Amino acid sequence: MRLPALTWKYVHLVLNPFPIVLSVVGVAVGLAGWILDRPAWERYGVTSLFLAGLVVLPTYYSGIAAGDVVSQRTFVTPGLIETHRTWATWTLLAVLADGVFAGFSLRQPDDGRLRRFVLMVGVLTACLAGVTGFMGGRIAHGADERARPAANRSDVGTATPAGSRSAPAARGAGSDSTGGRSP
């Protein structure tokens, strides 16, 4: 079994769910703990927000590197990447700030006010992470070039919609109803 090539796009696609899921689940469980008066649930939420603060930096920087590569493709609108990058920057700042407060809160487990402040700021971070993830999901990452044999990679870099014929067939080499095959 071959492992996939380690590219910035791949690293970013692997890392980006973590800050989103950790902040959304952390806030949901933490607020439920606040409402139901369960301090252990609140601490779970704060711990999740702290972990989101730890993983947001590698996610952000891998996204910057991946964005530089993906923006050079012909089928990617540069405005989408810039919009995602702007939202990602604001999300980075919010998640980092909340992660720092969460770290202080974990060091003082009996301070309920600080824990609840972290959860309230966490609502903002979860919303920002969700919007940023949505904006990133709108970027077309293209088909995985490794999935095709090397002989068929002459059309790498051209945009062909999913389910359509490959680029050589679309250029007129047998573009009849037989799908590029000779009768």
Please tell me the predicted confidence (pLDDT) of residue 158.
Answer: 43
What does the pLDDT read at residue 72? 80
Is 175's pLDDT higher than 80? no
pLDDT at position 47 over 50: yes
The Cα–Cα gap between 145 and 136 comes to 20
Does residue 68 surpass a pLDDT of 90? no
Of the chain, the percentage scoring pLDDT greater than 70 comes to: 75
> Which of 85-94, 119-128, 145-154 is predicted least confidently?
145-154
Instruction: Fill in the DSSP letter of residue 165.
Output: P
Q: Residue 67 half-sphere exposure, CB side, CA atoms within 13 Å?
A: 21
pLDDT of residue 152 exceeding 50, the answer is: no
> Shortest CA distance to 126 belongs to which of 41, 21, 13, 18?
21
Alpha-carbon distance values, 136 to 23, 63, 66, 179 (Å): 17, 10, 11, 34
Residues 94-122 have pLDDT tens digits of 999 999 999 999 999 888 899 999 999 99
How far apart CA 88 and CA 58 sit, in angstroms, is 12
CA-wise closest residue to 34 among 103, 107, 126, 113: 113
Give the Cα separation of 131 and 85 in Å (integer).
12
What is the per-residue pLDDT for 97? Answer: 96
Q: Six-digit token pair at 112?
A: 């309920």
What pTM, to 2 d.p., does this model score?
A: 0.72
- Of 21-35, 41-55, 129-143, 165-179, which gets the smallest average pLDDT? 165-179
The 3-state DSSP class for residue 85 equals helix
Pick the range with the lowest mean pLDDT from 25-39, 44-58, 152-166.
Answer: 152-166
Q: Output the pLDDT for position 125.
A: 95
pLDDT band for 78, please (50, 70, 90 cuts). Answer: confident
